[in-house]
């Protein structure tokens, strides 16, 4: 069965979301406790609040916090949404009509075997739509405000709500939570929405052992019993607000991944993990964690300064110690531009016409990155510029810096309404400020004189040293990721060289190699099993079977009769395999 939908909300949705967000901020802002997407929630620093902290001691009067999570309230009448958007946040009539047309014009196609059925959607928002989360926030805003005004602590993430209550006495907390659930029930019935009692749970965050009187609660005539654990946004919490259930869940997934990994290369259980990691070019877990911590540190630096000043995040800087991590970043929070002052043309290679470029003044630009550095080149009627951009700039940055280049990806980045690079934002602000500009893509290395000259100028710029402080354009995310990956490779290689033992593996494997790992993973399962067995020495040869206590006979090689039958002997010393070894690796010098 295949299901698809028509009537997407791409361009109209982005423009409508931008317009409605501006209108909402001017008239009445949405609650700060309501998040529509993971990006929206991650942009807000986590407040240090005692809401989910258990009391330090089970004695005295602990604070009990039942949590209710009403779910599945996403079947919405579109007319109500448009009326609320127009009345509450003052959204323009044209934007309301566009959104209404987009919502009502959707068609859903379902194909089973050779039969296709079409239906028109009359309720709800398109899943994965650009503007769908914001429209839902307009709906649930009323409920969150209603609960907050009544003294309840409410958090919203998409169509999942969390209601927190706290107090000294169990009966008081229970009455407050029941009043909150009654308010949710009344609101959903009034709006024609659904709330699922089976997917609603309550939990008491307390160190007190006796929690009688907290439950059960009533929701739509159904009893909701008190739970010992609750899952919210993929995180499992228990009544003491510890991460033990979540760690058990992650551990189970890791064990399953480990089993699948063992089955993929069919190595024996006794094979050392460190050797397998080196063979498959997989950095050890501790190195991966440190690398991701460095990436997290670079993302934190994008936030306003001082936002994590008194928290422990800044301690990562003590371990990073790299100029690239502490340098100015090119990444910015997303911004949107829908009205461009220039035109972008990307023609097909087969139908490209060079003569069309010579009707007006034309400049050719290009960007190049070499081992020495990065450069940008500009070639025009009276213009010859070769610009060095240092060693940290990426090809994308050099091409954006030169404005017009041969890469379609950069032209599409300038054409897209969403901007996440500071350099792209600056170019969009300056481009076509005083002239009519057309950006046109040219196929690279196709014999066009101006394009070839621009490429040479860019290459000269990459060879020339940059005079001044680096980075020139701000460090892009790709460069940071590359630096982190190189650091992880270096740490993996250094750990392998300093590792005690593993004499057999170190003799055959000098360092982790991505090319060798790709070759092994592309081979058959039987070939991979044999290769890993010989490289790790943990295979069905006599020497290893004798160490495991599975064989007590003669250890001589079954092929040549000389020397102990081991992986190193079979690969390097066995005279019976000399001919095949020379065919594979050539004659020794």
User: What pLDDT, on a 0 to 100 scale, did the predictor assign at position 43?
Assistant: 41
User: What pLDDT, on a 0 to 100 scale, did the predictor assign at position 493?
Assistant: 92
> Could you tell me if 572 and 551 lie in one domain?
yes
* Domain assignment present for 108: yes
Mark out the alpha helices in 354-431 (DSSP H runs). 395-401, 408-415, 422-430
Burial readout 473-498 (b: 16 or more C-beta within 10 A, e: otherwise): bbbbbebbeebbeebbbebbbebbee
* Domain assignment present for 57: no
User: What pLDDT, on a 0 to 100 scale, did the predictor assign at position 256?
Assistant: 86
Beta bridge partners of 306: none
pTM of the predicted model, to two decimals?
0.54
513 CB-near residues (< 8 Å, 6+ apart): 281
> Could you tell me if 83 and 121 lie in one domain?
yes
> Could you tell me if 222 and 273 lie in one domain?
no
> Could you tell me if 439 and 512 lie in one domain?
no
* Domain assignment present for 544: yes
User: What pLDDT, on a 0 to 100 scale, did the predictor assign at position 34?
Assistant: 58
> Could you tell me if 501 and 554 lie in one domain?
no
> Could you tell me if 138 and 274 lie in one domain?
no
- Given a cut of 50, whether residue 405 has pLDDT beyond it is no
User: What pLDDT, on a 0 to 100 scale, did the predictor assign at position 299?
Assistant: 76
Backbone angles phi, psi at 431, to 5 degrees: -65, 135
Of 215, 238, 261, the last residue of a domain is 238
User: What pLDDT, on a 0 to 100 scale, did the predictor assign at position 57?
Assistant: 45
> Could you tell me if 445 and 573 lie in one domain?
no
Greater confidence (211 vs 526) lies with 526
CA angle (482, 484, 488) in 5-degree steps: 115
529 CB-near residues (< 8 Å, 6+ apart): 265, 266, 267
Q: How do residues 313-340 score in pLDDT, each as one tens digit? A: 666 666 665 566 667 676 666 776 666 6
Total domain count for the chain? 4
User: What pLDDT, on a 0 to 100 scale, did the predictor assign at position 491?
Assistant: 92
Average pLDDT, stretch 167-190? 87
* Domain assignment present for 301: yes
Average pLDDT, stretch 432-461? 68
* Domain assignment present for 243: no
- Given a cut of 80, whether residue 118 has pLDDT beyond it is yes
* Domain assignment present for 43: no
CATH code: domain of residue 156: 3.30.70
> Could you tell me if 173 and 68 lie in one domain?
yes
* Domain assignment present for 488: yes
> Could you tell me if 145 and 216 lie in one domain?
yes
Reported as a pLDDT band with limits 50, 70 and 90, residue 375 is: confident
Which range, of 402-411, 503-512, 571-580, averages the lowest pLDDT?
Answer: 402-411
Coil, strand, or helix at residue 42? helix
* Domain assignment present for 420: yes
CA angle (461, 365, 407) in 5-degree steps: 105
- Provide, rounded to the nearest whole percent, the portion of the chain with pLDDT above 70: 62
Q: How do residues 531-554 score in pLDDT, each as one tens digit? A: 888 888 888 888 888 888 888 888
Greater confidence (502 vs 113) lies with 502
User: What tokens does 459 get?
Assistant: 């290459």
> Could you tell me if 371 and 414 lie in one domain?
yes
Coil, strand, or helix at residue 509? coil
- Determine whether 181 is exposed, middle or buried from the number of CB atoms within 10 Å of its CB (0-12, 13-18, 19+): buried
Q: How do residues 525-534 score in pLDDT, each as one tens digit? A: 888 888 888 8
User: What pLDDT, on a 0 to 100 scale, did the predictor assign at position 209?
Assistant: 77
Q: Which helix (H) or strand (E) holds 421?
A: strand 418-421
Whole domain around residue 499: which residue ranges? 252-329+475-519
- Given a cut of 80, whether residue 234 has pLDDT beyond it is yes
> Could you tell me if 365 and 468 lie in one domain?
yes
Of 238, 263, 297, the last residue of a domain is 238
DSSP 85-144: HHHHS---HHHHHHHHHHHHT-EEEEEETTEEEEEE--BS--TT-SSHHHHHHHHHHHHH
CA angle (435, 438, 439) in 5-degree steps: 130
CATH code: domain of residue 439: 3.30.420.10
User: What tokens does 113 get?
Assistant: 């075997």
> Could you tell me if 313 and 370 lie in one domain?
no
End-to-end CA distance of the chain: 62
Which range, of 12-26, 111-125, 495-509, averages the lowest pLDDT?
Answer: 12-26
């Amino acid at each position: 069965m295949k299901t698809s939908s028509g009537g997407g909300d791409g361009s109209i949705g982005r423009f409508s979301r931008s317009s409605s967000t501006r209108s909402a901020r001017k008239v009445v802002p949405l609650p700060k406790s309501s998040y529509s997407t993971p990006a929206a929630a991650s942009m807000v620093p986590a407040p240090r609040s005692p809401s989910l902290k258990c009391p330090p001691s089970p004695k005295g009067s602990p604070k009990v916090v039942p949590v209710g999570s009403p779910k599945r309230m996403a079947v919405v009448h579109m007319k109500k949404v448009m009326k609320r958007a127009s009345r509450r946040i003052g959204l323009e009539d044209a934007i309301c009509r566009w959104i209404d047309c987009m919502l009502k014009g959707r068609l859903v196609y379902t194909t089973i075997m050779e039969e296709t059925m079409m239906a028109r959607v009359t309720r709800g928002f398109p899943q994965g739509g650009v503007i769908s989360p914001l429209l839902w926030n307009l709906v649930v805003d009323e409920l969150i405000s209603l609960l907050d005004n009544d003294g309840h602590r409410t958090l919203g993430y998409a169509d999942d709500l969390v209601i927190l209550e706290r107090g000294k006495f169990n009966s008081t907390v229970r009455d407050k939570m029941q009043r909150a659930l009654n308010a949710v029930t009344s609101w959903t019935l009034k709006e024609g929405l659904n709330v699922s009692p089976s997917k609603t749970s309550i939990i008491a965050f307390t160190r007190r052992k006796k929690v009688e009187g907290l439950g059960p609660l009533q929701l739509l005539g159904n009893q909701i019993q008190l739970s010992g654990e609750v899952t919210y946004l993929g995180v499992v919490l228990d009544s003491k607000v510890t991460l033990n259930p979540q760690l058990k869940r992650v551990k189970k997934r890791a064990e399953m991944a480990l089993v699948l990994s063992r089955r993929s290369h069919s190595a024996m259980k006794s094979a050392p993990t460190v050797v397998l990691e080196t063979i498959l070019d997989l950095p050890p877990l501790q190195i991966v964690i440190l690398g991701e911590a460095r990436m997290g540190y670079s993302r934190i630096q994008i936030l306003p300064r001082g936002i994590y000043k008194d928290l422990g995040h800044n301690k990562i800087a003590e371990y990073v110690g790299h100029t690239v991590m502490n340098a100015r970043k090119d990444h910015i929070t997303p911004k949107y531009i829908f009205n461009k002052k220039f035109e972008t043309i990307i023609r097909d290679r087969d139908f490209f016409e060079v003569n069309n470029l010579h009707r007006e003044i034309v400049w050719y630009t290009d960007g190049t990155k070499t081992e020495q550095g990065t450069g940008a080149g500009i070639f025009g009627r009276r213009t010859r510029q070769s610009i060095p951009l240092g060693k940290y700039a990426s090809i994308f940055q050099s091409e954006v810096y030169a404005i017009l280049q041969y890469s379609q990806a950069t032209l599409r980045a300038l054409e897209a309404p969403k901007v996440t690079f500071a350099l792209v934002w600056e170019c969009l602000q300056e481009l076509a400020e005083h002239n009519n500009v057309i950006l046109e893509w040219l196929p690279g290395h196709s014999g066009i004189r101006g394009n070839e000259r621009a490429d040479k100028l860019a290459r000269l710029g990459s060879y020339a040293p940059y005079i001044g402080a680096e980075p020139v354009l701000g460090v892009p995310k790709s460069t940071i990721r590359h630096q982190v990956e190189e650091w992880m490779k270096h740490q993996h290689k250094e750990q392998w060289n300093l590792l005690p033992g593993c004499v057999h593996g170190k003799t055959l494997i000098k360092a982790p190699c991505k090319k060798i790992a790709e070759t092994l993973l592309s081979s058959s399962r039987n070939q991979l099993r044999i290769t890993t067995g010989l490289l790790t020495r943990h295979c069905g040869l006599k020497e290893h079977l004798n160490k495991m206590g599975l064989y007590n006979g003669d250890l001589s090689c079954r092929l040549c009769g000389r020397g102990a039958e081991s992986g190193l002997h079979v690969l390097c010393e066995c005279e019976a395999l000399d001919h095949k070894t020379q065919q594979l690796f050539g004659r020794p010098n």
